Every structure is written in C-alpha cells, then in structure tokens.
C-alpha cells in the first residue's frame, strides 16, 4: 500500500457516508459577482463567530466559497470552513479540504461540494456528525475519526436515488452529466498517474476463470471473484473442483490454478520504477500452481519465491509447475503426507527442503515423496498435471493483461445500455476499505477496494458492480493521486 493510504487502515471501525446526487434538479446558479469575491480577511460581521469545522489546505486555480448567508469570496490555502459553506472549483481548478477529525476531501475541477452539517466533539464521540453533499463534479475522500469511534451512522449524506455507506475507507466518486465522462480531456488521460491506490494496491487480477473462484482475506472474509476481480497481498485464492483460474499479476507474472487448488499471495509489492525493491511470495496450500515469472524476478530473482509446508522454490526467472498429489495422483493438501513435485519448463530454480538445496535447470524436475525429506532430481518432466482434469492453460500462453483489466471504459457501460445521454451517472472507485451502495428499493451492493460501481441516477435500476475501477476516475489527475497530507492528530 502506498503512502497516500498507509494511514487508512481502519480495521474494526465503521463509518457511514451517503452521498446525495440531485441529477434531476436544476443546477444551482452561481451568479458570482466580482464585488462579492472578497478575500476572507476582508469579511466583517456582527454575527457571533461560527465554529470552524475545517480548512482548505490546497488551492490551484480559481476556487469560490459561498457561505450559508449567501456571501461569496475567493478561497485560498488557509481559508476556514464552516457549516453551510459551498465550495465551487472552477475549470482547471482544484481544492483539498481537511476537517478537524482529519477527514480529507480532494475536489476535481468544476465541482460543487456542500458542508451541510458537521459536529466533532473529542470528549463525546456519540455526538459526532458529518453530512456532506457532492452536487456535481468529483471528489476523493479519506475518512477521518467521525464514524469510527462513535455512531456508525455519524458520517452521512442522503440522496434521492443513491446512497453510499462507508466502512472506513478511501474512495472516489464522480458525477457525469449526459455524455461528459466519455469526453475525457486529453491532458487528464495523458497526465494521470499510476499511483491510484485502487490499482497500485492490487497485487493481481483474474485474467481467466471457470467454475467457482473465491478470495479469502487474512481475517477470514470470503468474496467471490470473476474476470478482472482484484486479488490483494495476504489473500488466499481458492478454485472449486471442475474449474481453473489464471491470475495476471502487476509485474506480468501469470499464475494458473487448477480446479481444487488454493494458494496464498503471502507477500506482494511491486514498484515499477524500482522493481529490484519489489517482492513476490506465493504459498501453495492445496493442489497445484503453474507459473511464469515477470518483472520482479528479472530485476532480482531472489525476490520471488514459491513455497509449501515442506519446501521452498527460489526463482531465477522461469516457467514451472508445483503440485501436491496423493500416491494415486490426485491433487491434495500440501503437507508432509503428500508428494511434492516441481517441474521446470524454462529458466533455473533452487529447491530447498530440510535445509538441503538442489539446483534445477530447464527440463528437470524434483520430487519429494510423501513422508520423505530428500529431494529426488530427474532429467525428465513427469507432466503430473497432464493427468489432472481442469489443470488450466500454461501461464506463458496467456496474456500479461493486468493493465487492461485495471479499469472499465465508460463507453462499455453505455454500449451495454446502462448509460444515457440524458441525466447523470454516478461512478465510484474504492481505493481502500468497503462501501455499500443502495439505490431506491434495490438490494444494497457491497463494493470492495480495487472495485468500482456505476449508478444511473435517474432510474430505479440497481447499482452495477465493476470488478475494476472506471477509467473516468483512474485517468483523472485529481482523483487518481490527490495531494493529501499526512494526517495530524485531531484535537
């Protein structure tokens, strides 16, 4: 996980944030007059001073703030925020807001954001309340303390058609009027950074899948996977009998899991700019894995390992099969009571068991029989998986398509009949944590990190799950990598 989201670990906390999108309501006329745009320091009032709920930390371009009393002024870094304030970012302008509970909000150009209600009392968590509204444009939010320490419903915003419930998270939202999101500015797409955590935090994605496929988190949470679904470090991937799965990792490593197999992504960190500092470690728990390594192994082979309960396979840039079988040849749980076979199709590996290491070259295989700790080397490939149903394709014959699986074109949604030239659409990408979206009387939709969602706001159609974030967010400069600061301790 990158630095932007390292402070967003919110295990055990819950916050609810519902965003209101008035797609069918008339746009609120800005009608800002030059005489109304006075610096904050020039404002005087006889009214009691309102409680400050946050501060604008970063401003680029022209940002306007309208108070609850209807006063308009230019906003700049340091401008204080009060309940009732409306923040408008003009074209080519952005803003980053920070609230007293450490919540941060980045606004993209041409956005309108309202602080409807806000109360934070350090000594009285049950009284916490934050109600925000995104009227147009887009934002990215890092949730703070409100909703994590008191009521789970403290962080809310209502909607006529869509509600986003937050479980302590980092997520992006974008409202698109008509077809505006199909016309991304060329500069946005070209300048978007790959540090969007909705992609950078993903270890791999499902490239192919047949039958049942699931990911189980380190905490035991189980979720179904399909093509393009993300897989994260620490998760265990399970393939049901009668199916197989191919995973495309971020560094172009490809892994095929035959039916009945399970494998943990024990550790995975890939930095494209410095692959020599990256690591990839996979633990085969049951069945088999077929692998072809990618950029991490090429940069430093010592940083890639496959292991089971009884042996470790060190990689030297390669294509191999590792399988745990019973004496009769069926795939079983990897343990001292199973046969462990390693077959090397290309490259070089080092197999270590019971403190003894053996080097294998292309065309060789290693066998550690059940109940034995000795490595038996052969100059042939037994092709153990050739006799196993649903063993899946050789990974080197599958595409290294992690990037193409990592976002969903808006056009594909509209071609599928979900989009509309009229009204507005809501697009969401979850960078960390979990959100729950409800629309009208439809069942709630859970969206996890690395995934996205689409809501047609003028219909009662259910929200649509996107197994990867929409490109209208991934390719947006502000939403992909906002200039969030390290959080300060809340008062």
The pLDDT tens digits of the residues spanning 361-396 come to 999 999 999 988 789 999 999 999 998 888 999 999
Burial readout 242-276 (b: 16 or more C-beta within 10 A, e: otherwise): ebbbbbbbbbbbbbbbbbbbbbbbbebbbbeeebe
Q: Which of 143-152, 228-237, 254-263 has the lowest mean pLDDT?
A: 143-152
Q: Given a cut of 70, is residue 46 above it in pLDDT?
A: no
Mean of pLDDT values over 474-479: 87
State CA 230 to chain mean position distance: 8
* Long-range contacts from 64-73, C-beta under 8 angstroms, 24+ separation: 64/30, 64/32, 64/37, 64/88, 64/90, 65/40, 66/32, 71/36, 71/43, 72/32, 72/33, 72/36, 72/37, 73/36, 73/37, 73/38, 73/39, 73/40, 73/42, 73/43
pLDDT at 9: 38
Q: Which of 29-33, 69-73, 144-148, 328-332 has the lowest mean pLDDT?
A: 29-33
Mean of pLDDT values over 131-136: 90
Residues of the chain above pLDDT 90, percent:
53
Whole-angstrom Cα Rg for the chain = 26
pLDDT at 459: 72
pLDDT at 408: 86
Pick 39 or 131 by higher pLDDT.
Answer: 131
pLDDT at 215: 97
What are 166's two structure tokens?
């937050």
**What CATH number has the domain spanning 203-397?**
2.60.120.1440
Strands (E), 168-303: 170-177, 204-210, 213-216, 222-224, 230-231, 236-239, 244-249, 254-257, 262-269, 279-286, 288-292
pLDDT at 146: 86
Query: Three-state DSSP class for 321?
Result: strand
Mean of pLDDT values over 335-356: 95
Q: Given a cut of 60, is residue 246 above it in pLDDT?
A: yes
pLDDT at 44: 47
Matching fold, domains 6-196+406-480 and 203-397: yes
pLDDT at 298: 93
pLDDT at 27: 36
Pick 441 or 55 by higher pLDDT.
Answer: 55
pLDDT at 35: 39
pLDDT at 320: 97
Q: Given a cut of 50, is residue 462 above it in pLDDT?
A: yes
pLDDT at 38: 45
Mean of pLDDT values over 450-466: 85
pLDDT at 7: 35
What are 301's two structure tokens?
């082979």
**CA angle at 169 for the pair 150 and 196, rounded to the nearest 5°:** 160
For residue 417, name the pLDDT band (cuts at 50, 70, 90). very low
CA distances (Å), origin 488, targets 99, 100, 230 = 11, 9, 31
Domain range annotation of the chain: 6-196+406-480, 203-397
Rounded Cα gap, residues 439 and 164, in angstroms: 9
Q: Given a cut of 90, is residue 154 above it in pLDDT?
A: no
**Has this prediction a pTM greater than 0.95?**
no
Q: Given a cut of 70, is residue 33 above it in pLDDT?
A: no
Mean of pLDDT values over 101-112: 94
Q: What's domain 6-196+406-480's architecture?
A: Sandwich (2.60)
Q: Given a cut of 60, is residue 40 above it in pLDDT?
A: no
For residue 343, name the pLDDT band (cuts at 50, 70, 90). very high
pLDDT at 48: 63
For residue 284, name the pLDDT band (cuts at 50, 70, 90). very high
Whether 103 contacts 141, CB under 8 Å: yes
In eight-state DSSP terms, residue 25 is S
Query: Three-state DSSP class for 350?
Result: strand
Ranges of H-type helices in 141-273 = 186-191, 197-200
Q: Give which of 420, 416, 457 is closest to 438, Cα–Cα.
A: 457
Q: Given a cut of 90, is residue 358 above it in pLDDT?
A: yes
Rounded Cα gap, residues 418 and 468, in angstroms: 17
């Amino acid at each position: 996980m990158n630095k932007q989201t390292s402070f967003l670990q919110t295990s055990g906390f819950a916050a609810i944030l519902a965003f209101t999108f008035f797609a069918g309501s008339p746009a609120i006329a800005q009608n800002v007059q030059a005489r109304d745009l006075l610096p904050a320091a020039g404002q005087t009032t006889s009214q009691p001073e309102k409680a400050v709920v946050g501060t604008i930390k970063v401003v680029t371009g022209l940002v306007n703030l309208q108070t609850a009393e209807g006063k308009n002024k230019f906003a700049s870094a340091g401008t204080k925020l009060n309940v009732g304030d409306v923040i408008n970012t003009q074209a080519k302008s952005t803003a980053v807001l920070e609230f007293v509970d450490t919540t941060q909000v980045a606004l993209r150009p041409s956005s309108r954001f309202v602080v409807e209600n806000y109360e934070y009392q350090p000594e009285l968590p049950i009284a916490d309340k934050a109600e925000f509204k995104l009227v147009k444009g887009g934002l990215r939010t890092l949730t703070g303390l409100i909703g994590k320490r008191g009521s789970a419903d403290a962080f809310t915003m209502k909607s006529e058609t869509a509600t986003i419930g937050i479980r302590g998270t980092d997520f992006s939202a974008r409202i698109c009027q008509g077809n505006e999101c199909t016309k991304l500015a060329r500069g946005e797409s070209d300048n978007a950074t790959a540090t969007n955590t909705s992609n950078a935090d993903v270890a791999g994605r499902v490239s192919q899948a047949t039958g049942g496929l699931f990911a189980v988190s380190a905490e035991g949470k189980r979720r179904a996977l399909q093509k393009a679904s993300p897989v994260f470090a620490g998760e265990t991937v399970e393939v049901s009998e009668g199916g197989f799965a191919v995973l495309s990792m971020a560094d172009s490593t490809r892994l095929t899991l035959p039916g009945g197999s399970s494998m943990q992504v024990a550790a995975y960190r890939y930095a494209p700019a410095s692959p020599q500092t990256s690591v990839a470690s996979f633990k085969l728990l049951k069945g088999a894995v077929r692998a072809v390594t990618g950029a991490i192994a090429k940069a430093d082979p010592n940083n890639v390992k496959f292991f089971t309960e009884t042996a470790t396979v060190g990689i030297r840039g390669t294509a191999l099969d590792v399988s745990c079988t019973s004496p009769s040849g069926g795939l079983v749980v990897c343990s001292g009571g199973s046969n462990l076979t390693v077959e090397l199709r290309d490259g070089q590996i080092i197999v270590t068991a019971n403190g003894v290491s053996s080097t294998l070259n292309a065309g060789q295989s290693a066998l550690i029989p059940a109940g034995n700790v000795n490595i038996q080397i052969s100059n042939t490939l037994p092709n153990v998986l050739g006799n196993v149903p649903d063993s899946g394709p050789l990974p080197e014959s599958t595409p290294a398509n992690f990037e193409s699986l990592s976002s969903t074109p808006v056009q594909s949604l509209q071609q599928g009949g979900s989009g509309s030239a009229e009204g507005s659409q809501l697009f969401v990408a979850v960078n960390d944590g979990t959100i729950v979206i409800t629309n009208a009387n439809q069942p709630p939709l859970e969206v996890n990190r690395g995934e996205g969602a689409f809501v047609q706001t003028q219909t009662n159609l259910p929200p649509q799950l996107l197994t990867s974030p929409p490109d209208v967010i991934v390719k947006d400069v502000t939403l992909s990598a906002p200039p969030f600061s390290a959080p300060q301790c809340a008062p």
